[in-house]
Amino acid sequence: MERKYFFFDIDGTLAAGEMRNQFIPESTKRALEELRAAGHFVAIATGRSYAMAVDHMRDMGFSNMVSDGGNGLTIDGKLIGIKPMDYEKCVALIEECERKGFIWAFSPENSKRRLAPDNRFHEFTRDVYMETEVVPGLNPRDYKEIYKIYIACFPPEEEKLKTLGELPWCRFFKEFLFVEPADKSVGIKAMVDRLGGDYKDVVVFGDEKNDISMFRKEWTSIAMGNAIEELKRLADYVTDDCDKDGIYNACRHFGWI
């Protein structure tokens, strides 16, 4: 069998359960072991930053990862690099937030912290996803790079921000949205190019809106049974739910294991 290049989203695909109580189903662990034993390449494809995902990568037994929504590459446990977001567009968005009274924060580096000019972001969101460090008088132009922006507001208040349309963004929580890279296919292609592979041998698994970018015609796209309907319509195959042997059953269906 030709070597395949597998890329798995984390939440709702590899990992089942709520954020604080996630677990990897035993059948998924078995599928990954059998894929590796068969000589296939396996990697994570996540929107999370490298800093926020690297421990998950290691805990799940992976050494390859597309992180930062397609902008970061890790191969054989080594971080190859991370591309920041468009600097001027990010600054323009933060400045518009400031003018219009939106609460904001941003990450100027790949780390587990974000910076905010005051306590309002934490007070509004009560978010514990990552540390929020208050820097009085915070000015984005004092930093050379911007990797993510966080805007605290309830939907559809973000529609008032004109510059938001110039950048990729998504909302996982009602209290705030993430402005972050959102094309996992860019990182997948870069990874496969580095490895000398062929796009036709790529297989992706996903379940949510931020996985739409990696469901492309060049390769095989598999939606979990618990995936959103929009993703299922784009999929080449819809498997069972994440916690009902979805990954294992799909790999068996196609004869990869």
Is the pLDDT assigned to residue 20 strictly greater than 80? no
Over residues 206-222, mean pLDDT: 95
CATH code, domain with 40:
3.40.50.1000
How far is residue 106's CA from residue 117's CA, in Å, rounded to a whole number?
10
Average confidence score pLDDT of the chain:
95
Q: Is the dihedral of CA 157, 52, 190, 251 positive or negative?
A: negative
For the segment 66-111, what is each residue's pLDDT rounded down to a tens digit? 999 999 999 999 999 999 999 999 999 999 999 999 999 999 998 9
Q: What is the pLDDT of residue 198?
A: 97
Q: What is the pLDDT of residue 240?
A: 98
162: number of Cβ within 10 Å: 11
Q: What is the pLDDT of residue 129?
A: 80
Q: Are residues 113 and 148 in the same domain?
A: yes
Q: Are residues 47 and 157 in the same domain?
A: no
Q: Is 228 helix (H, G, I), strand (E, B) or coil?
A: coil
Q: Cis peptide leading into 156, omega within 30 of 0?
A: yes
Task: Give 93-128 as a 3 state SS string.
Answer: HHHHHHHHCCEEEEECCCCCEEEECCCHHHHHHCCC
For the segment 221-240, what is each residue's pLDDT rounded down to a tens digit? 999 999 999 999 999 999 99
Helix, strand, coil abundance in the chain, percent, nearest 5: 40, 25, 35
CATH code, domain with 116:
3.30.1240.10
Q: Choose one of 179, 195, 214: the last residue of a domain.
A: 179
Cα–Cα nearest to 119, from 105, 129, 130: 105
Count the alpha carbons within 13 Å of 91 in the hemisphere toward its beta carbon. 11
Q: Are residues 17 and 124 in the same domain?
A: no
197: number of Cβ within 10 Å: 17
How far is residue 176's CA from residue 31's CA, in Å, rounded to a whole number?
35
Per the structure, the count of domains in the chain is: 2
Q: Is the dihedral of CA 185, 85, 47, 209 positive or negative?
A: negative
Beta bridge partners of 107: 148
Beta bridge partners of 82: 72
Q: Are residues 187 and 171 in the same domain?
A: no
Q: Are residues 228 and 192 in the same domain?
A: yes
pLDDT band with cut points at 50, 70 and 90 for residue 19: low
Q: What is the pLDDT of residue 22?
A: 84
105 within 8 A of 121, measured Cβ to Cβ: yes
For the segment 118-171, what is each residue's pLDDT rounded down to a tens digit? 999 999 999 988 999 999 999 999 999 999 999 999 999 999 999 999 999 999
Count the alpha carbons within 13 Å of 182 in the hemisphere toward its beta carbon. 17
Over residues 176-205, mean pLDDT: 97
Q: Are residues 94 and 151 in the same domain?
A: yes
